[in-house]
Amino acid sequence: MAARKPRKSAKRVSAKGAARLRSSRGMTGAMPLRTIFVVVGVVGLAALGVALFGPRRFRDEIIRPISAATFVPLASAVTPQADRVWAETRPWRDRVARILASVNTDEVRERVAEQLKVWVDRFR
């Protein structure tokens, strides 16, 4: 008699792998859905906090101190630079304004309208 080769059994998925497959297919396994749940939860907790704390007290004790701590120093740091840049670009802004004013005449508008008409007629 010839020796038989032993049959290889089908690979079995371990219990951990099966659990992973099941959880990734579940409704809460999808990443966007989990993100939506987290966002909704955070917004709900924030709304609950505002409702319990009171909107005026929330604004006075939380929002204003945070804005004072972040926006005021930022504005004071940026204002001198913005004023300097605004002053330095004055000649350029005046030149652009003169160019736009010179283009905005009846003669230029008629020429642009004629060219547009020719261009539209070409595609008919």
Domain ranges for the chain, please list them: 31-88, 89-124
C-alpha distances out from residue 53 to 40, 43, 46, 68, 87, Å: 20, 15, 10, 20, 47
CA atoms within 13 A on the CB side of 61: 8
pLDDT at position 109 is 84
pLDDT at position 38 is 94
pLDDT at position 9 is 62
Spans of the chain below 50 pLDDT: none
pLDDT at position 17 is 56
pLDDT at position 22 is 53
